[in-house]
Amino acid sequence: MFMHGYNSYMKYAYPADELMPLSCRGRVRGVTPSRGDVDDSLGNFSLTLVDTLDTLVVIGALDEFERAVKLVVDNV
């Protein structure tokens, strides 16, 4: 189940912070603060990718972990 969500994020939303599941698009911090508190946790730094690094190690997806770390180092 984790890999399904992770792969969907990488396919449809990366490098955005989050995946919006109904539209299959990335969510990034809005330019204007018109969405209330929704943007408080978004910073345009691939938040979901950074957050999943430890889980990739725990589930033993070491090749994907190495790829994700390289993406973070190169792009964040």
Q: What is the pLDDT of residues 6-37, one digit of tens each?
A: 999 999 988 888 888 888 888 777 665 556 66
Asked whether residue 66 is assigned to any structural domain, the reply reads yes
Asked whether residue 50 is assigned to any structural domain, the reply reads yes
Asked whether residue 62 is assigned to any structural domain, the reply reads yes
% of the chain with per-residue pLDDT over 90: 43
**Domain count along the chain:** 1
**What is the domain extent for residue 67?**
8-20+43-76
Asked whether residue 29 is assigned to any structural domain, the reply reads no
Asked whether residue 36 is assigned to any structural domain, the reply reads no
- Our CA angle for 21, 55, 10, nearest 5°, is 40
What does the alpha-carbon distance between residue 24 and residue 68 come to, in Å, rounded to a whole number?
A: 20
- Note the pLDDT tens digit of each residue in 27-68: 777 665 556 666 666 667 788 888 999 999 999 999 999 999
Q: How far is residue 43 from each of residues 18, 39, 50, measured CA to CA in Å?
A: 10, 8, 12
pTM above 0.85, yes or no: no
Asked whether residue 31 is assigned to any structural domain, the reply reads no
Asked whether residue 34 is assigned to any structural domain, the reply reads no
